[in-house]
Amino acid sequence: MNRILVVGVPRSGSTWLAQMLASTPHSYAVLEPDNPAWHREAGAVRQLYGAFPVLQAGERAPEYERLWDRAFGERPPRRLLGGSHRNMVLKTVHGGFAVDWLSARYAPRVVLIERHPLNVVASWMQHRFEVGDLATRERVRTQYVEPLALPRWDPMAPRILQVAWAVGVLMSGLRRQARSRPEWVVVSHEELCVDSSVRLRGVAARLDLEWSPGAERRLRESNAPGSGAEIKRVARALPSKWRDSAAGDMQAVADYLRRFRELQQWFEPAGDASDRVPRAPSTNGSQGPALATPTVTAAEAPLAAAAATSLPGDDPAVLRARDGFAPRRAALLQRIESVAARPGDEPEQPASHRAALRYLAFYLPQYHPIPQNDAWWGEGFTDWTNVTNAQPSFSGHYQPHLPSEDLGFYDLRDPETRFLQAQLASRYGVDGFVYYHYWFLGQRLLERPFDAVLASGRPELPFCVCWANENWTRNWDGGDGSLLIEQRYDSADDVDHIRWLASAFADARYIRVDGRPLLLVYRAARLPFPQRTADVWRSEAMRLGVGEPYLCSVESFAEERADPRALGFDASVEFPAGLAGWPRRGPQLVLPPGTAKRGGAEGTATGAQLRAFSYPVASELALTRPAPEYKRFRCVTPGWDNSPRHPAQPTVFVGSTPETYERWLSRTAAEFTPYSAGENLVFVNAWNEWGESNHLEPDRRWGYAYLEAHLRATGRVAA
């Protein structure tokens, strides 16, 4: 058996490298057997030996031996059984101080992947990695910190410098071992990003692996935009990726890391690493000089990568002046400047009623990686992963929906992306975003974009939040099966939750209804004691001085279509989505013979599995829905098709066009009578729900047509 051990520090790209090597013929991967998050038995071993065990060759460590004996003896996954598998690729980011021990016991071929330390620090900060017991382990101090004359741990230092210390110690320890191990294959993450196919082919050859067409195909799949491993994009973003990915003084971090002798080669003698791809230093003589890395100057980097942590100002002209290197974004800024929504000039105009309403669009913050999604779906997962994998299920089926090149496959950690989204929205008649908010007994997920909006004060577009209080499941249905994280409730948590929400309510941009902060709850009927929760929220918010919240239930499912007053809420919001959200959707369509796929491409629906309805019919039926006795705000959608998330059994509303959307929104707004001056809301599902194909953001088929239709439907005119 050809055993290959990929080692690196956490967030160095080791998972991607191991997966690429394991995609070669007769190979399979065993990832992080020493990670308690993936393997339960690793937790007990970590308690004994620490998060980063320090072991010398031949040293007795019974529990650690059993852990790795199982790992090196692991058989291929069941789906691979039956073939001849002679290559095992194992990966660890916690065994860096035990590589000599592992090598002596199992004789693997070691591959060390290195990444620029500034980018590693930035990624640790982003994913909230903890230093853990690394600073308190005696062996780390006596065998690495002191012999290598490394800076000592400072418990009073800012957290970002504590993270830098941990990264510096781990990388220094690995490089120290690599210097005396000429047989190791040392690769640079940055160099792999520049020309991944050529570089990986060379690494595979050194490991006696065959770089086959199948491996090349797997590489191309991993390079799909939005997959989280889009290598060319990552390479172009490297010059200043660390700037946008971590909070803190990164120049101070760079100065601190220069104190680690083993890491000095990564830094230019003067200045910082922002003007070119960081160098990958040569580790040992047998490797020869580091492979030449083409420089990527700031003038070549995309706007999303070149953005600083804060914006220079909310003036498109200012942004465009720095945007000469990003013509697609420059064109977007020119478009933003060319159109601005404003009400009609005369109150007597037929459009004046529609223009006076407030149009709020639901906003999905899914487009950035988080550790939980990394663990559940694979490293770097975002909703773009689903979007780009979508396939049509019948002739004429519009899939995949891909974003236009102006915004592209954006990352919501980028402040300029958020600014441009808000500028587009306000120019085209969207008055605010309804951010989905994920709260699980105090644990928040996908929180980073909204936290950045609060902390920075930008963009200026008004906003509110919708608590998406449902389970996260592998089926993307909020149900009770295949749970990833469960939505649970607690009376004490009601207080904690509203206290956190109060910090958002206090923002001057927060949307209010007659002076009260607007809060939506996606599954209000799921609250065990909704009236008590509503009472607690109102009383605590009043005590905190942020005002009594205006509570809206969302009619997302049949059980939610009830009088919100029975729950202690003020009003409800329609939510046309899927099957449950359309109370009147018309008959299911029967596709003409030969149009639906029958046992077609893997992951696509057959005719029997597909549920198709007419968007024009469903929108007309929505217009005729009788008004209830309670307050209910209307909601429209530019389309619905959840094929990206449910490829085997999608629900598709066919026939949406900008014209049908405009008609639906225009008539909805014209027929809606506000309940008061502040209760003048119309909702849109959604601004950017690409995984369900309902988005106002421009795509490659329709461009800005839906935004232009939205602007016309609001009765506003371009300034």
Q: pLDDT, tens digit, for every residue of 155-179?
A: 888 888 999 999 999 999 998 888 7
Instruction: Check if the beta carbon of residue 681 is closer than 8 Å to that of residue 513.
Output: yes
Tell me how far apart the alpha carbons of residues 667 and 682 are, in angstroms, rounded to a whole number: 12
* pLDDT per residue as tens digits for the range 614-660: 999 999 999 988 899 999 999 999 999 999 999 888 999 999 999 99
Query: Does a cis peptide bond (omega within 30 degrees of 0) precede residue 459?
Result: yes
Residue 169 C-beta-side C-alpha neighbours within 13 Å: 28
Instruction: Check if the beta carbon of residue 617 is closer than 8 Å to that of residue 551.
Output: no
Nearest by Cα to 189 from 126, 227, 234, 246: 234
* pLDDT per residue as tens digits for the range 210-225: 888 888 888 887 766 5
Tell me how far apart the alpha carbons of residues 567 and 519 are, in angstroms, rounded to a whole number: 14
* Tokens (6 digits) for 544: 């905190």
Q: Which residues of 17-54 are buried (b: 16+ CB within 10 A; e: fewer)?
A: bbbbbbbbbebbbbbbbbbbeebeebeebbeebbbbbb
Q: What is the pLDDT of residue 275?
A: 32
Instruction: Check if the beta carbon of residue 657 is closer than 8 Å to that of residue 547.
Output: no
Among the residue ranges 139-153, 302-316, 685-699, the one predicted with the least confidence is: 302-316
DSSP letter at 263 equals G
Task: Supply the mean pLDDT for the chain.
Answer: 81
Tell me how far apart the alpha carbons of residues 465 and 631 are, in angstroms, rounded to a whole number: 19
Roughly how many angstroms between the first and final C-alpha of the chain, as a whole number? 70
Q: What is the pLDDT of residue 315?
A: 41
Q: What is the pLDDT of residue 306?
A: 26
Confidence tier at 240 by pLDDT (50, 70, 90): very low
Nearest by Cα to 235 from 115, 382, 330, 413: 115
Q: What is the pLDDT of residue 272?
A: 34
Q: What is the pLDDT of residue 224?
A: 61
Query: Does a cis peptide bond (omega within 30 degrees of 0) precede residue 400?
Result: yes
* SS3 per residue for 143-180: HHHCCCCCCCCCCCCCHHHHHHHHHHHHHHHHHHHHHC
Nearest by Cα to 187 from 379, 395, 384, 7: 7
Instruction: Check if the beta carbon of residue 7 is closer than 8 Å to that of residue 172.
Output: no
Q: What is the pLDDT of residue 641?
A: 95
Confidence tier at 84 by pLDDT (50, 70, 90): low
Amino acid present at 452: A
Q: 506 or 241, which is more confident?
A: 506
- The residue count for the chain: 719
Tokens 């055993």, located at residue: 3
* Tokens (6 digits) for 619: 């929108």
DSSP letter at 625 equals P
* pLDDT per residue as tens digits for the range 485-496: 999 999 999 999
Instruction: Check if the beta carbon of residue 355 is closer than 8 Å to that of residue 431.
Output: no
Q: What is the pLDDT of residue 225?
A: 53
Answer whether residue 483 shows pLDDT above 70.
Answer: yes
Tell me how far apart the alpha carbons of residues 395 and 600 are, in angstroms, rounded to a whole number: 12
DSSP letter at 515 equals T
Tell me how far apart the alpha carbons of residues 210 and 533 are, in angstroms, rounded to a whole number: 61
Q: What is the pLDDT of residue 295?
A: 27
Tell me how far apart the alpha carbons of residues 625 and 632 are, in angstroms, rounded to a whole number: 12
Tokens 């396939």, located at residue: 391
* pLDDT per residue as tens digits for the range 376-431: 988 889 999 999 999 998 888 999 999 998 899 999 999 989 999 999 999 999 99
Tokens 């999608």, located at residue: 650
Q: What is the pLDDT of residue 134?
A: 87
Question: Across residues 360-364, what is the average pLDDT?
Answer: 98
Among the residue ranges 58-67, 164-173, 535-544, the one predicted with the least confidence is: 58-67
How many percent of the chain have pLDDT more than 90?
48
Instruction: Check if the beta carbon of residue 7 is closer than 8 Å to that of residue 92.
Output: yes
Q: Is the backbone of residue 26 left (phi > 0), alpha (psi -120 to 50) or beta?
A: left
| C-alpha separations of 6 from 29, 174, 288 in Å | 10, 12, 20
* pLDDT per residue as tens digits for the range 25-52: 988 888 888 888 777 788 888 888 888 9
Nearest by Cα to 501 from 459, 460, 454: 454
Confidence tier at 499 by pLDDT (50, 70, 90): very high
Q: What is the pLDDT of residue 291?
A: 24
Among the residue ranges 92-96, 242-246, 571-575, the one predicted with the least confidence is: 242-246
As separate numbers, helices (DSSP H) first and strands (DSSP E) second, the chain gives 26, 25
Answer whether residue 370 shows pLDDT above 90.
Answer: yes
Tell me how far apart the alpha carbons of residues 486 and 469 are, in angstroms, rounded to a whole number: 10
Instruction: Check if the beta carbon of residue 332 is closer than 8 Å to that of residue 421.
Output: no
Tell me how far apart the alpha carbons of residues 459 and 415 are, in angstroms, rounded to a whole number: 9
Instruction: Check if the beta carbon of residue 474 is closer than 8 Å to that of residue 639.
Output: no
Tell me how far apart the alpha carbons of residues 636 and 622 are, in angstroms, rounded to a whole number: 9
Tokens 């490797």, located at residue: 287
Instruction: Check if the beta carbon of residue 171 is closer than 8 Å to that of residue 263.
Output: yes
Domains parsed from the chain with CATH numbers:
2-287 (3.40.50), 359-523+580-718 (3.20.20.80)
Instruction: Check if the beta carbon of residue 115 is closer than 8 Å to that of residue 11.
Output: yes
Confidence tier at 206 by pLDDT (50, 70, 90): confident
Confidence tier at 285 by pLDDT (50, 70, 90): very low
Q: What is the pLDDT of residue 476?
A: 66
* DSSP code string of 128-144: T---GGGGT-HHHIIII
Amino acid present at 280: A
DSSP letter at 151 equals P
What is the pTM for the complete model shown?
A: 0.57
Answer whether residue 682 shows pLDDT above 90.
Answer: yes
Gyration radius of the chain over CA positions: 27
Confidence tier at 329 by pLDDT (50, 70, 90): low
What proportions of the chain, in percent to the nearest 5, are helix, strand and coil? Answer: 40, 15, 45
Strands 463-467 and 185-188: unpaired
Q: What is the pLDDT of residue 284?
A: 33
* DSSP code string of 308-377: -SS-S-S-HHHHHHT-TT-HHHHHHHHHHHH--EE--SSTTSTTHHHHTSEEEEEE---SS--HHHHHHH
| C-alpha separations of 30 from 49, 50, 73 in Å | 21, 21, 10
Q: Which residues are 30's β-sheet partners?
A: 90
User: Count of CB atoms within 10 A of residue 257's CB?
Assistant: 24
Q: What is the pLDDT of residue 158?
A: 87
User: Count of CB atoms within 10 A of residue 58's CB?
Assistant: 9
Nearest by Cα to 550 from 464, 672, 453, 436: 464
Q: What is the pLDDT of residue 261?
A: 86
Q: What is the pLDDT of residue 246?
A: 44
Is residue 479 packed enough to be buried (19+ CB in 10 Å), middle (13-18) or exposed (0-12)?
exposed
Tell me how far apart the alpha carbons of residues 455 and 507 are, in angstroms, rounded to a whole number: 10
* pLDDT per residue as tens digits for the range 119-132: 898 888 887 777 87
Q: What is the pLDDT of residue 718?
A: 59
